[in-house]
């Protein structure tokens, strides 16, 4: 028992430290390439500028502060390390989530399952590519992991003061996620299903709803950063932002990106074999074999929180549906 408690306390920190060390040591030392989003973020964040749609205000503000507080190397390298920091946090949340989903028969968290998931995900080429350069995806997946971990098991706090605090924190995380990357909204179907299924009477109106709503919508005020900086003479690099009411909504909602849901010059047709090759490349044959061997765990109801698994599967399917219909050249990202 003492050993299990020790592992519960030590392993999460060790996982984060190992992931951050790996990504920091392999992070790009400066500018990676020209004419891409990475170069834009390496410039926009340190100068507190305006990024391309949707503007990514939280990323820009946090990244700008990070470059001021981290006294190493150049601005570009600092922004690359910014991704490494949040990517390590995302890996930590994956570890915490997996060891809860794949429990032992007595309900204890499965440390080995968490470590296996981390090894399969954290070393994948697509993820490491995003974790070592200035990109928005590391911070986005950090918020996804934080939301999933905060939501799962929230029903255990029903009837205690901690429940309202946890719900407020959950809504705040959702709001911060939306203030960063709009695909956070893809969590909504699974999250709504899980909460309504797990928490009795959650749908009944109550005064605390206003607190939760404030926590959710409050972070969205960060989008005011865009017109605020524009009023100071700042312009985005590609000149897409128009400083008008309509221009603000076009930028924040990325309306021109809706073209990627139809045929477009950047669309790449992929066959089933292409998708399979991508999965094998990302996770490796060994990880896929381990996943198949772990399927019996899903059958054993004693070892799995059913509602939590359905929540995660709905989130995965929603994101998969989006990826299949969003026709860009780098759909794997």
Question: Tell me: the pLDDT tens digits for 275-312?
Answer: 788 787 777 776 777 777 777 766 665 556 889 989 99
Q: Average pLDDT of 221-234?
A: 96
Q: Average pLDDT of 113-126?
A: 89
Task: Grade residue 100 by pLDDT with cuts at 50, 70 and 90.
Answer: confident
Question: Tell me: the pLDDT tens digits for 144-158?
Answer: 999 999 999 898 898
Angle at 300 between CA 98 and CA 310, to 5 degrees: 55
Q: If DSSP states are collapsed to H, E and C, what string results for the chain?
A: CHHHHHHHHHHHHHHHHHHHHHHHHHCCCCCCCCCCHHHHHHHHCCCCCCCCCCCCHHHHHHHHHHHHHCCCCCHHHHHHHHHHHHHHHHHHHHHHHHHHHCCCCCCCCCHHHHHHHHHHHHCCHHHHHHHCCCCCHHHHHHHHHHHHHHHCCHHHHCCCHHHHHHHHHHHHHHHHHHHHCHHHHHHHHHHHHHHHHHCCCCCCCCCHHHHHHHHHHHHHHHHHHHHHHHHCCCCCCCCCCCCCHHHHHHHHCCHHHHHHHCCCCCCCCCCHHHHHHHHHHHHHHHHHHHHHHCHHHHHCHHHCCHHHHHHHHHHHHHHHHHHHHCCCCCCCC
Query: Could you state, in order of their start, the residue ranges of all structural domains in the chain?
Result: 2-325
Q: With a cut of 90, say whether residue 213 has pLDDT above it.
A: yes
Highest mean pLDDT among 81-90, 196-205, 298-307: 81-90
Give the residue with greater pLDDT, 324 vs 290: 324
Give the residue with greater pLDDT, 322 vs 218: 218
pTM above 0.85, yes or no: yes
Q: Average pLDDT of 249-276?
A: 81
| Phi, psi angle pair for 87, to nearest 5° | -65, -40
Residue appearing with tokens 């990325």: 254
Q: What pLDDT is attached to residue 302?
A: 57
Q: What pLDDT is attached to residue 297?
A: 65
Q: Average pLDDT of 169-193?
A: 98
Q: What pLDDT is attached to residue 168?
A: 98
Q: What pLDDT is attached to residue 224?
A: 97
Give the residue with greater pLDDT, 4 vs 210: 210
Q: What pLDDT is attached to residue 299?
A: 60
Of 23-27, 34-38, 264-268, the least confident: 264-268
Q: Average pLDDT of 69-98?
A: 95
| Phi, psi angle pair for 46, to nearest 5° | -60, -25
């Amino acid at each position: 028992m003492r050993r299990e408690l020790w592992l519960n306390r030590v392993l999460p920190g060790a996982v984060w430290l190992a992931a951050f060390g790996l990504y920091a040591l392999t992070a790009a030392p400066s500018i990676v390439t020209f004419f891409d989003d990475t170069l834009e973020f390496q410039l926009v964040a340190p100068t507190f500028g305006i990024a391309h749609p949707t503007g990514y205000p939280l990323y820009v503000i946090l990244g700008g502060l990070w470059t001021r507080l981290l006294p190493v190397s150049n601005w570009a390298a600092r922004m690359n390390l910014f991704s490494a920091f949040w990517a390590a946090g995302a890996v930590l949340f994956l570890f915490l989530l997996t060891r809860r989903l794949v429990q032992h028969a007595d309900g204890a968290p499965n440390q080995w399952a968490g470590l296996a998931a981390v090894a399969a995900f954290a070393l994948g080429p697509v993820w490491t590519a995003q974790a070592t350069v200035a990109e928005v995806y590391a911070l986005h997946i950090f918020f996804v992991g934080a939301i999933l971990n905060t939501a799962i098991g929230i029903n255990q706090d029903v009837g205690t003061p901690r429940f309202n605090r946890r719900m407020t924190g959950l809504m705040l995380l959702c709001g911060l996620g939306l203030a960063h990357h709009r695909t956070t909204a893809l969590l909504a179907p699974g999250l709504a299903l899980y909460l309504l299924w797990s928490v009795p009477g959650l749908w009944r109106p109550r005064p605390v709803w206003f607190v939760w709503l404030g926590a959710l919508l409050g972070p969205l005020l960060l989008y005011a950063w865009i017109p605020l900086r524009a009023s100071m003479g700042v312009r985005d690099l590609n000149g897409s932002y128009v400083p008008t009411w309509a221009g603000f909504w076009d930028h924040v909602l990325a309306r021109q990106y809706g073209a990627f849901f139809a045929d477009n010059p950047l669309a790449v047709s992929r066959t089933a074999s292409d998708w399979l090759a991508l999965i094998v490349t990302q996770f490796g044959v060994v990880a896929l074999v381990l996943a198949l061997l772990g399927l019996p765990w899903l059958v054993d109801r004693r070892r799995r929180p059913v509602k939590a698994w359905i929540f995660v599967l709905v989130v995965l399917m929603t994101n998969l549906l989006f990826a299949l219909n969003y026709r860009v050249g780098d759909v794997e990202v």
